[in-house]
Structure formats: C-alpha cells, structure tokens
Structure 1
Amino acid sequence: MLKLQKYSQQHLIIFTRYPEAGKTKTRLIPALGAVGAANLQRQMTEHTIFQVQELQKKTALSCEVRFAGGNWQLMQDWLGQDLAYHSQGGGDLGERMERSLREALQSGAQRVIIIGTDCPGVNSQILATAFEQTQAFDLVLGPALDGGYYLIGLHRYIKELFANIDWGTSQVLQQTMDIAQKLNLSHLYLPPLADIDRPEDLSIWKPSPLSPNPSPHNQTPRIF
C-alpha cells in the first residue's frame, strides 16, 4: 500500500535511480566497476537525503523520491517507510520533472524544488536558500559546471521550462534561461557546483564527515 503523501508549503522532489549494478552510473563503470558505480549511486542518494533531514530540523518541509529502476518495494526496503515514493514514469527528463512539479502544485505545495543526487555539494544551507528565494523569484536555478543544473525551484507551474531542452548536454542551462527570458521570468542563480558523471569527476566525492551511512529506517526525512 502506497504511503499517503502530505504536502507542506515547501516541497522537495528528489530524482534518483535504484542502485542496481550495471544499470546505474554506467559512465563510471570503467573506473569503479558495475558494483562500485552502483554503490556510489547508493551513497550519493543517502548523502542527499541526510542533507534534507538536516534542513527538516529547522523548517517544515515535505519530501518525495521519484525513482527510476527497481520498484516501490525495493525503494522502501532501501530508504525506509518514512518517505513517499513515486515512479518517474515515462518520457524524457523534462517530461518527468514537469509531471512531478505539476502534481506537487496541484496537491497543495506552494514552493517546489527538484534536485538530483549527482551533486554532493548540495547541502541543507543551499536548499534553505533555494526555498527562501522561490518566494521572490519566478525561477531559481543551481548551475552545474558541466552546463546543466543541479536544482530548479518554482512557485508556479511553467511547463515551457521543461520542453525543447537537449537534456544531458552542456546546453541545458542556457536553453532553460533562453526560455525564461522569452517568458520574462525573474530568476536567481545559486552557487555553481560540480556533479559526478564521469571518472574524472570522482575527486569531487567528499561527503560531509557528519553524515553517517544511513540505515534503511532511521536516516530518512519525515513527511509532514
């Protein structure tokens, strides 16, 4: 039975993939092996959730995990019963993000942030700043050094931001900003951060020393 989602005014959506060897972080397999790449995916997801948990100690925030690969039961066995899980569903990345944003806003959220788990620099302070700034700006973006973005924050539904983007390329951020400018959207950039996609990025992985290795049932964000 799926967990009933309760939405706070501030709602965070985490996009991740179930860490199955050979199907996760495949560009890192030459450096880490299939199991090692999957383990890194697991660790980065748990690190991201720990940062969300730290923020939830300070502010009301609901959270959900949108997953690819695996299934609901595997996700619950991994990250515990306190999270809401939804399949990312079909379509390209833009369609999947657009769908998650629309559903959150329709369910009562007023400020929505979407993040992935590939950027270990995303911490509770950055998330807090992003939520604060979504009150004042139409669009909040966290630029990634590879030309994409690690975070998008909105307080209203703007479907155009997720269409006609060359996802997975160095043009994602610029194309998104081109659309924002055409729509006359006010925007704010968060600090640029690096993500981990390729073997040369592995030196970035330095999780917080305060972050434990989460056990499946006691290191997950709560749902308000």
Structure 2
Amino acid sequence: MSRSAVVIMAKAPVAGLAKTRLIPALGAAGAAALAERMLAHAAQVAAEATPDTLEVCATPDAAHPAFDRLARDHGLQLATQGDGDLGQRMHRAFVRVLALHDCAVMIGTDAPGLDTTCLRRALRALAEYDAVFVPALDGGYALIGLRQPQACLFDGMAWSTAEVMSNTRGRMKATGLRWAELPPVPDVDEPADLVHLPAGWLT
C-alpha cells in the first residue's frame, strides 16, 4: 500500500521574524499572531487529509511552543529546515521524507485557501503523475507534491518572484516529468493580500 506524507514548511511565529512584510499593517506582534493562526490552520487541514505521516519542518528551529502544541494535538513530527536557500531546504526535506514514503506533498502556511479536499486531491494525483502543484495567484506555488526527489526543480530558482511557477513548468518539461495542476489559490504575504483571509482571522 502506498505511504504518503504531508510536510508543512513553517517559520516560528516570533515577532519580528514571521510575516515581516505584514508588519506595516499589523505590527510585529500582530503579524506573528497571524502567522501562528495560519500555522495552526495548515496543520489542521493537513491532519484531516490523513496522510501516513504529517510533519512540520521548522525554521530557525522547532523549539517554539506553537510547534509543541501542534505535535500534541495532531500527532505530527517535528524537523528543522537547516541551512541554505528555500530551494535547498525544500529539496533536503523531500529527500528525507521520500526515503520512507511513496509520495509527499509540501505546503507552507501562507495560503489559507488550501483545504483538506485540495490536499487529498494532490495526494491522489501522485498515483498518476510525477508531481502535482497548486499555483499561487502571485506566480509562485502554494503546494508541491512529488514521488521522487527532483533537485532540478529547486536548484538556482529565483524564489519569491512572479516567475517561480512558470520557471518550474519549464524545468518539468525539460526533464520529461508529468505533472498535474489544481486550481490556484492566493498567498497572504503583503498587506494587500489580507483581503484573502477568512472572516474573523484578524479579530
């Protein structure tokens, strides 16, 4: 039977460290509080997707009390991202997790539009495709799923730009990998993105 994993790449919700681009709108403490709420939401929907393994891969470490609470509430595992740029950290997590699982889906905490149904669809897609994505409306992606580690998707990528998803498609085509794309969702990175939050999240 196929074994699946969901990995949540998360920054510790510390004031001045988390969601710093939202500080002009929310203040450092408010941005950190929203980051913690988004982390909890990501863990909840991922747990409801019932993968065989659920992990939070944290930076700069996994010592924040929010991570301990999620581990207790959802039985998730904790790991640390380590050094390197985002692509190096993502690829390293995929290598580690896919050594023990047949497929893995990775998400961040910035896209509250990702729900359990979407995660389940992504996991199912990996029975047929080499990769699966949920594009983000800003040109990146909110979810990536793989059956095998693919260093070519992460090496030398210009992260946090509007070309990430289009460049990723180009790399997939060049290597002959087959992929599926699910409907795009918005990220919440900048003050203008706060309109995409569910009602009540800032109260």
Name the TM-score, length of structure 2 as normaliser.
0.92
Structure 2 unpaired stretches of 5+: none
How far apart, CA to CA, are the structure 2 residues paired with 1:30 and 1:76?
26
Pick from 72, 80, 83 the counterpart of residue 90 of structure 1: 83
In structure 2, what is the equivalent of residue 79 of structure 1?
A: 70
1:187 pairs with 2:175: no
Aligned length: 198
Secondary structure of 1:34 counterpart: helix
Once superposed, what is the RMSD of the aligned Cα atoms?
1.8
Q: Is the 8 A contact 1:140 1:154 kept in 2?
A: yes
Deviation at 1:77, TM superposition (A): 3.5
Q: Is the 8 A contact 1:133 1:140 kept in 2?
A: yes
How far apart, CA to CA, are the structure 1 residues paired with 2:15 and 2:180?
37
1:67 pairs with 2:61: no
Q: Is the 8 A contact 1:120 1:207 kept in 2?
A: no
CA offsets, 1:166-194, max 9 Å, x none?
00111111111111010011111110110
Deviation at 1:22, TM superposition (A): 1.1
Q: Which moved more, 1:46-55 or 1:195-204?
A: 46-55
Q: Which moved more, 1:154-163 or 1:109-118?
A: 154-163
How far apart, CA to CA, are the structure 1 residues paired with 2:199 and 2:90?
26
In structure 1, what is the equivalent of residue 95 of structure 2?
A: 102
CA, structure 1 residues 27+105, in 2 after alignment: closer, same or farther (shift >3 Å)? same
In structure 2, what is the equivalent of residue 37 of structure 1?
A: 31
How far apart, CA to CA, are the structure 2 residues paired with 1:111 and 1:176?
19
RCO greater where, 1 or 2, for CA within 8 Å and sep 6 or more? 1
Deviation at 1:53, TM superposition (A): 2.4
CA offsets, 1:139-158, max 9 Å, x none?
11110000000000111121
CA, structure 1 residues 71+64, in 2 after alignment: closer, same or farther (shift >3 Å)? closer
How far apart, CA to CA, are the structure 1 residues paired with 2:199 and 2:41?
7
Pick from 41, 45, 62 the counterpart of residue 47 of structure 1: 41
The residue correspondences of 1:8-47 to structure 2 (distance < 5 A) are 9-47=3-41
Name the TM-score, length of structure 1 as normaliser.
0.84
In structure 1, what is the equivalent of residue 104 of structure 2?
A: 112
How far apart, CA to CA, are the structure 1 residues paired with 2:108 and 2:199?
15
How far apart, CA to CA, are the structure 2 residues paired with 1:23 and 1:202?
18
Deviation at 1:75, TM superposition (A): 4.8
CA, structure 1 residues 206+176, in 2 after alignment: closer, same or farther (shift >3 Å)? same
**Partner amino acid for 1:62?**
T
Secondary structure of 1:67 counterpart: strand
Q: Stretches of 4+ moved more than 6 A in 1?
A: none
In structure 2, what is the equivalent of residue 175 of structure 1?
A: 167
Deviation at 1:164, TM superposition (A): 1.9
Structure 1 unpaired stretches of 5+: 1-7, 210-224
**Partner amino acid for 2:41?**
H
Deviation at 1:208, TM superposition (A): 9.8
CA, structure 1 residues 80+201, in 2 after alignment: closer, same or farther (shift >3 Å)? same
Q: Is the 8 A contact 1:47 1:207 kept in 2?
A: no
Q: Among the aligned pairs, what percent are the same residue?
A: 37
Q: Is the 8 A contact 1:72 1:86 kept in 2?
A: no
